[in-house]
Amino acid sequence: MAVAIILLLVAVASVLFHIYSPWWWTPIASNWRYIDDTINITFWITGAVFFAVIAFMAYCVFRFHHKEGRRAAYNPENKKLEWWLSIGTGIGVAAMLAPGLIVWHQFVTVPADATEVEVMGQQWQWSYRLPGKDGRLGTSDARHVSSENPMGLNLDDPYGKDDVVIQDDLHLPVGKPVKVLLRSIDVLHDFYVPEFRAKMDMIPGAVTYFWFTPTRTGTFEVLCAELCGVAHAQMRSKVIVQEEREYHAWLEKQRTFAELSEQRGVAKAAYKADSE
């Protein structure tokens, strides 16, 4: 009896701890409340199964504990029980899978008016690229990456000349959908802002993406959610969500790729002249 009661207390305490835990989600700051809803559905289904399994174990411990003269009965199969377990498991898996598939479809179906923003991860820093006045990002290639061209932009692509290259914090306007293009030039990374509930692996040699709409202003920390080396924990940045007027005022102060390339070219020429 004591063991059965302890098992039930463990099951009840585990569920209550999750419900009333102080380590809960950060306040959401994007349109992805569907992610929270999906996680809640998964919790209630797996929590119910967890409680049922522990309760069944407690029942078995109490009902079939050792008694003098009692002999165990061997029952190799029970078709009725197997059918019920198969049907119940199938319903539970479908109930968890269906909301996730719906949310995933929304996650990768980007609105037509979304602005593209490129995020590049490398050990152990973040770089960002925003479209210039033409509203279009230029092409890029990892083979073009150098100290003068850290994001590997195609020098022959006219659309890339006015792109804004940021190696500090990323600024975004509130209420505007953003398509985030993700690249890595060395190992796996993962661009993650907890308040946005949106994350995606960054795979060398591929461009992955997701979209979101910032719903409130503020400063939010960027984390790498994929173990990427010894300085993984220090691979951080910030996303600053501003009112549209403040965002455009910030954007006007940033330099384009063409301006940065010209500045680096002048600095390189001056260094060469001094060396000679």
- What H or E segment, with its residue span, contains residue 274? helix 257-275
- Omega before 124 within 30 of 0, i.e. cis: yes
pLDDT at residue 136, rounded to an integer: 80
Residue 268, pLDDT > 70, answer: no
Residues paired with residue 140 on neighbouring β-strands, in sequence order: 153
Decide if 146 is inside a domain: yes
- Measure the CA dihedral 84/86/87/89, to 10°: 110
Confidence band of 213 (pLDDT split at 50, 70, 90): very high
Average pLDDT rounded to a whole number, residues 226-253: 89
pLDDT of the residue at 269: 37
**Digit-coded pLDDT (tens) for 60-71:** 878 777 777 777
> Sorting pLDDT into bands at 50, 70 and 90, what band is 273?
very low
Mean pLDDT of 234-255: 89
Distance CA 34, CA 274 (A): 59
**Do 128 and 265 belong together in one domain?**
yes
| Cα gap 139→118, rounded to integer Å | 11
Whether the predicted pLDDT of 141 surpasses 80:
no
pLDDT value at residue 216: 92
pLDDT tens column, 143-201: 787 777 777 887 777 777 888 888 888 999 999 999 999 998 888 899 999 999 888 89
Q: Which two tokens mark 38?
A: 């999906």
Beta-strand ranges (E) seen in the chain are: 115-122, 125-130, 164-166, 170-173, 178-184, 189-193, 198-202, 208-212, 218-224, 237-242
251 and 122 in a common domain? yes
Helix, strand or coil for residue 177? coil
- Cα–Cα distances in angstroms (integers) from residue 132 to residues 10, 135, 227, 258, in the given order: 57, 6, 33, 11
pLDDT higher than threshold 70 for residue 262? no
Which percentage of the chain shows pLDDT scores above 70? Answer: 94
50-54, 234-238, 261-265: the lowest-pLDDT one: 261-265
Which pTM does this prediction carry?
Answer: 0.74
Q: Residue 26 is part of which domain span? A: 2-65+77-108
Look at 246 and 60; give whichever has higher pLDDT: 246
262 and 196 share a domain? Answer: yes
Q: Total domain count for the chain?
A: 2
User: Which region, left, alpha or beta, applies to residue 152 given φ > 0 means left and ψ of -120 to 50 means alpha?
Assistant: left
- 41: burial class by Cβ within 10 Å (0-12, 13-18, 19+)? middle
Q: What is the rounded distance in angstroms from the CA atom of residue 38 to the CA atom of residue 44?
A: 10
Structural domain includes residue 72? no
Q: In what order do the strands lie in the sheet with 189-193?
A: 170-173, 237-242, 218-224, 189-193, 198-202
Residue pair 224/189 in contact (Cβ under 8 Å)? The answer is yes
Residue 226 lies in a domain: yes
Residues 83 and 142 in one domain: no
- Domain assignment present for 70: no
> Looking at residue 154, what is its pLDDT?
79
Tell me: the pLDDT tens digits for 104-129?
A: 888 888 888 888 899 988 888 898 98
Q: Which amino acid is at 73?
A: A
Q: Which pLDDT does position 274 carry in this prediction?
A: 44
Asked if 61 and 120 sit in the same domain, the reply is no
**Same domain? 135 vs 268:** yes
pLDDT value of position 264: 53
**Are residues 47 and 125 part of one domain?**
no
If you average pLDDT over every residue of the chain, what do you get? Answer: 83
Q: Is 60 part of any domain?
A: yes
